[in-house]
Structure 1
Amino acid sequence: MRLPRLLRCAIVLGAGAGGLALVGAPGLFCAPALAAESADAVTAPLQALSAGLAKAEKLSDYKARVAIVGPLIDRAFDLPAVLKASVGLRYNSIPADQKQELLTAFHDFTVARYLSNFAAGSDTGLEVHDATPYAAIPGAQLVHTQITSGGSGTDVNYVVHQGPTGWQATDVLLDGTISQVAVQRSDFTAQFAQGGAPALIAGLKKKVAALSGS
Structure 2
Amino acid sequence: MYRYFLTRTATAVALALVLPVTSVSMTVLAPATAQAASAAEALIDNFHSGLLNTMKQASSLGYSGRFKRIEPLVKRTFALQTMMQVIVGPEWNGLSAADRGALMDTFGDWVVANYASRFNGWDGESFVTTGTTDGGRNTVVVQTEIRPQNVKLGYRVLNGKVVDVYLSGSVSQLAQWRSEFAAVLKQQGAKGLVAKLRSSENQLAK
Q: TM-score interval w.r.t. the shorter chain? A: 0.7 to 0.9
Query: Secondary structure at 2:58's aligned position in 1?
Result: coil
> 2: CA distance between counterparts of 1:62 and 1:86?
27
> 1: CA distance between counterparts of 2:131 and 2:46?
14
Question: Equivalences for 1:185-196 in 2 at 5 Å?
Answer: 185-196=178-189
The answer to whether the 8 Å contact 2:37/2:142 transfers is: no
Match of 2:82, as an amino acid?
Answer: A
The answer to whether the 8 Å contact 1:141/1:161 transfers is: yes
Question: Equivalences for 1:157-176 in 2 at 5 Å?
Answer: 157-162=154-159, 167-176=160-169
Question: Structure 1's 197 and 178: CA in aligned 2 closer, same or farther, altered over 3 A?
Answer: same
Cα deviation for residue 130 of structure 1 reads 2.4
Q: TM-score scaled by structure 1? A: 0.73
Cα deviation for residue 95 of structure 1 reads 0.9
Instruction: Give the aligned CA root-mean-square deviation in angstroms.
Output: 2.1
| Unmatched 5+ stretches in structure 2 | 1-30
Report the identity percentage.
Answer: 29
Match of 2:46, as an amino acid?
Answer: A
Deviations 1:136-164 (A, max 9, x none): x231101001123xx321111111111xx
The answer to whether the 8 Å contact 2:167/2:173 transfers is: yes
**Which fold has the larger relative contact order, with Cα–Cα distance below 8 Å and residues 6 or more apart in sequence?**
2
Question: Equivalences for 1:41-80 in 2 at 5 Å?
Answer: 41-57=39-55, 58-60=57-59, 61-80=62-81
Stretches of 4+ moved more than 6 A in 1? 34-37
Cα deviation for residue 39 of structure 1 reads 4.0
Match of 1:75, as an amino acid?
Answer: R
Question: Structure 1's 168 and 35: CA in aligned 2 closer, same or farther, altered over 3 A?
Answer: closer
Question: Structure 1's 38 and 173: CA in aligned 2 closer, same or farther, altered over 3 A?
Answer: closer
Number of the residue aligned with 2:140: 141
Question: Structure 1's 205 and 126: CA in aligned 2 closer, same or farther, altered over 3 A?
Answer: farther
> 1: CA distance between counterparts of 2:202 and 2:121?
17
| Unmatched 5+ stretches in structure 1 | 1-31
Question: Structure 1's 81 and 206: CA in aligned 2 closer, same or farther, altered over 3 A?
Answer: same
Cα deviation for residue 185 of structure 1 reads 0.6
**Structure number with bigger Rg:** 1
Q: TM-score scaled by structure 2? A: 0.76
The answer to whether the 8 Å contact 1:50/1:128 transfers is: no
